[in-house]
Chain A
Amino acid sequence: AQSVTQLGSHVSVSEGALVLLRCNYSSSVPPYLFWYVQYPNQGLQLLLKYTSAATLVKGINGFEAEFKKSETSFHLTKPSAHMSDAAEYFCAVTDYSSASKIIFGSGTRLSIRP
C-alpha cells in the first residue's frame, strides 16, 4: 500500500530563511504527489502537484517541490519564508492504478520566527 512519511512534525524557521519540509513516499508504481496547506480552522488547499510531467513543480505562494525517484522524495521548499506561511503542511500520494484514494501524511506544522 502507498504511504507518505513527513519527517518532522514541527519545523520553525526565521522570516526570510529557507523553508524545507521533507516528504518521502512509498509506491509500487509512479505516483501522483501533492502538497496541501491547512491554515487554522480552514480546509486544505492545494499548493502543488506532481503528475509525471516535469520533476520540478512550482506551486502557489512561491513554493516548489522536486520529485526525486531515486530517493523516493518530494520535498517542499520556499527560498524565503514569510510570516503568512505559518500553517500545517500535508504531503499526499495517490496511485491511480489502484483507483483508490489519496493517502495523506501526518503533517508538518511550520512556524515562522520574526
Chain B
Amino acid sequence: EAGVVQSPRYKIIEKKQPVAFWCNPISGHNTLYWYRQNLGQGPELLIRYENEEAVDDSQLPKDRFSAERLKGVDSTLKIQPAELGDSAVYLCASSPGIGERAYNEQFFGPGTRLTVL
C-alpha cells in the first residue's frame, strides 16, 4: 500500500513569490492534516480536514496561507506571498478515522522542505 505522497520534496523561492504544496493521502483515509515543522522543533498543526471539510484551521495564517481538499482526497496548501519566516518543512499526514478515532494513528508523508530567500 502506498504511503502519503507529497510533492515537491524541495522548493526554493524568493520572498514575495507564491508556492504550493500537494498531498495525496493514503487511500480511504478520511482525515488529512497539514503541519509545519521549523528547524529543531516538533510539527505544529496548520489545518485538519475531515473529508472535504476544514474542521480545524485555527493555526493557519489566513492572510497568506490557504488550503483546499477538493473531493475529500488530494489537498493543496498554498502560501502567497511567501516570507522569510515561512522556511520550514511542511508535512502532510492522514488517518483513517474521523473525530476521536482520527487520533489513533497519523501516517506522515516525507514533507516538503521550503527555503525562502
Contact = CB atoms under 8 A, between A and B. Distances in A.
Interface residues of A, number: 23
Contacts, number: 51
A70 interface: no
A41 B10 CA distance: 10
A86 to B, nearest CB: 16
B42 A106 contact: yes
B14 interface: no
Interface stretch (B67-75, B79-87, B96-104): B96-104
Interface string B17-49: 000000000000000000000001111110010
Nearest to A45: B108
A46 B40 contact: no
Interface of B: 4, 40-45, 48, 56, 91, 93, 99-100, 103-111
